[in-house]
Amino acid sequence: MTDREWQTLLAVIRGEQLRPLPTAFIIDSPWLPNWAGHTILDYLSNGNIWFQAHQKALSTFPKTIFLPGFWSEYGLCTEPSAFGAVSSFEEDAFPFAKRLLPTIESVDTVEKPNPRTDGLLPLVIKRLKHAQPEIEKSGHKIRFAVARGPLNIASFLMGTSEFLMALKTDAARMHRFLKVITDFLVEWLAWQRECFPSIDGILVLDDLMGFVGKDDFVEFGLPYLKRVFAADVSLKFFHNDAPAKVCAPFLAEAGINLFNFGFQHTLNDMKEWTGGKITLLGNLPPRDVLAKGTPEQVRDETIILINQLKDRSRIILSAGGGMPPGTPTQNIAAFIKTVEEFTK
């Protein structure tokens, strides 16, 4: 991410109204490898292919911001691998972490991993270390420490249904489990920042926060989000594209100042639910419009999105979630051009 892009993000978070409105997209392995002409496995295993794919996106779309920028990741396997979960990598399928814990009681055997040595985490750091000179030569810097969130990791280690049921049947054990995971996450994010002093933001992704009701979010989600987002950084970015009405009123309390959510909710509703305190990133339907629509449909839906906005402060226009697989170049270009044209 360039200095100009970083300052744009910070200006919007401060509440400054920019014209045109900025656009930004979360991009990672579900979209970027195939779009750039590679298999997912080649992208994840070859540092040059990984770097060139990011460079291609930056040169093709110079008027938007890609988040978090040069994302070093192994799909959903990164953090679960540190706990010992088996990672499954096919040639051109999304990586997946296999369930680790066969019973609720086996949660008691989980130990906090060392982010400096365990699982795929050292490879995440090394990829960035090797690429850092070229990243900075191109005018960009490593700005974000990135991790999956505590409920998300718990669900991969236990199984989603099993974890959600255990919140109701064995709350004390789940709190102990989430504490171990959160202790690890705090250390993992801190280690990334130590390795790359240019980092001044964190991105945490946790769709499981949208799978629970209000009481369970307040008990099992909010305290651990607060700990994760207590880091001393300028930009605290949270992604949850599952239903987010329940968690929205608590996000500012958790320390979050940038939120990417699903297309189920409008920007106006989310602005109301968050009290206007948080910058919102969204909210074009990612699959049915951005990926599967025509450029004309993308343009039409983007105009509707813009015209419906009651308050343009703390808004970055994007998809309601990450960049979906198969999104074509012309649709992304149509979105960026339409926003630029209609928000001058």
Residue range 222-233, pLDDT digits in tens:
999 999 999 999
Residue range 231-273, pLDDT digits in tens:
999 999 999 999 999 999 999 999 999 999 999 999 999 999 9
Query: What secondary structure does DSSP assign to 119-162, as a single string?
Result: TTHHHHHHHHHHHHHHHHHTT----EEEEE-HHHHHHHHH-HHH
Q: What are phi and psi of 140, to 5 degrees?
A: -110, 165
Q: What are phi and psi of 44, to 5 degrees?
A: -75, -25
Q: In what helix (H) or strand (E) does residue 205 lie, and over which residues does it extend?
A: strand 201-205
Query: What is the torsion angle, in degrees rounded to the nearest 10, for the CA atoms of residue 269, residue 275, residue 276 and residue 281?
Result: -50
Confidence of residue 40 (pLDDT cuts 50, 70, 90): very high
Q: In what helix (H) or strand (E) does residue 65 lie, and over which residues does it extend?
A: strand 65-67
Residues 294 and 329 sit within 8 Å (Cβ to Cβ): no
**What's the pLDDT at 37?**
98
Task: Give the range of the structural domain holding residue 45, as residue numbers without chain letter.
Answer: 3-342
Which residues fall within 8 angstroms of residue 160, CB to CB, at 6 or more apart? 208, 211
Confidence of residue 115 (pLDDT cuts 50, 70, 90): very high
**Number of neighbouring beta carbons within 10 Å of residue 316:** 24
Here the CATH number for the domain that contains residue 301 is 3.20.20.210
**Both tokens assigned to 193:** 């920042």
Which residues fall within 8 angstroms of residue 304, CB to CB, at 6 or more apart? none
Residue range 270-325, pLDDT digits in tens:
999 999 999 999 999 999 999 999 999 999 999 999 999 999 999 999 999 999 99
Q: In what helix (H) or strand (E) does residue 4 lie, and over which residues does it extend?
A: helix 3-14
**What's the pLDDT at 161?**
97
Question: Do strands 201-205 and 144-148 pair parallel, antiparallel, or not at all (unpaired)?
Answer: parallel
**What's the pLDDT at 149?**
98
As a whole number of angstroms, the distance between CA 310 and CA 29 comes to: 34
* Across 20-24, average pLDDT: 98
pTM of the model: 0.97
Residue range 41-89, pLDDT digits in tens:
999 999 999 999 999 999 999 999 999 999 999 999 999 999 999 999 9
**What's the pLDDT at 95?**
95
For residue 258, give the amino acid letter.
L
**What's the pLDDT at 14?**
97
How many domains are contained in the chain? 1
Nearest CA to 285 among 238, 324, 246, 336? Answer: 324
